[in-house]
Amino acid sequence: MSVSPAKFEQKGGHDDKKLMIPATVILRHMFTPAELRADEELLSELEADVREECIKFGLVDNVKVCENNPQGVILVRFKDRKDGAKCIEKMDGR
């Protein structure tokens, strides 16, 4: 008898480089909860502005403003982690 680990391989036509793995980027210090309470339109403006900026890096799946977060957090879900990495590289420290 012979025992060996199973090897599962895709037969032809599969390219791992084309595989899109989603990623969420956390943007901090984008607002204060007090600012959101003072301006009813700020939430939708933030979502639109962040989406507009982040689309420059790739496909954006979702933008979520965490309204009550004391660190002013906005979550951006990219369809591909490579695009998320580009966003982090360009937006960090802005």
Residue 16 included in any domain: no
pLDDT at residue number 12: 61
Q: What is the CATH number of the domain that holds 67?
A: 3.30.70.330
For residue 1, what pLDDT is reported?
Answer: 39
Q: Please give the tally of structural domains in the chain.
A: 1
Coil vs helix vs strand at 86 = helix
pLDDT of 2 reads 42
pLDDT digits (tens, 9 = 90+) for 21-71: 899 999 999 999 999 999 999 999 999 999 999 999 999 999 999 999 999
Residue 40 is part of which domain span?
21-91
Q: Residue 14 — very low, low, confident or very high, per pLDDT cuts 50/70/90?
A: low
Question: Is 5 part of any domain?
Answer: no
Q: For residue 10, what pLDDT is reported?
A: 60
Rg (CA), the chain: 19
Q: Classify residue 49: in a domain, yes or no.
A: yes
Q: Is 13 within a domain?
A: no
The helix/strand/coil state of 91 is: helix
Instruction: With respect to residue 15, please indicate whether it lies within any of the assigned structural domains.
Output: no
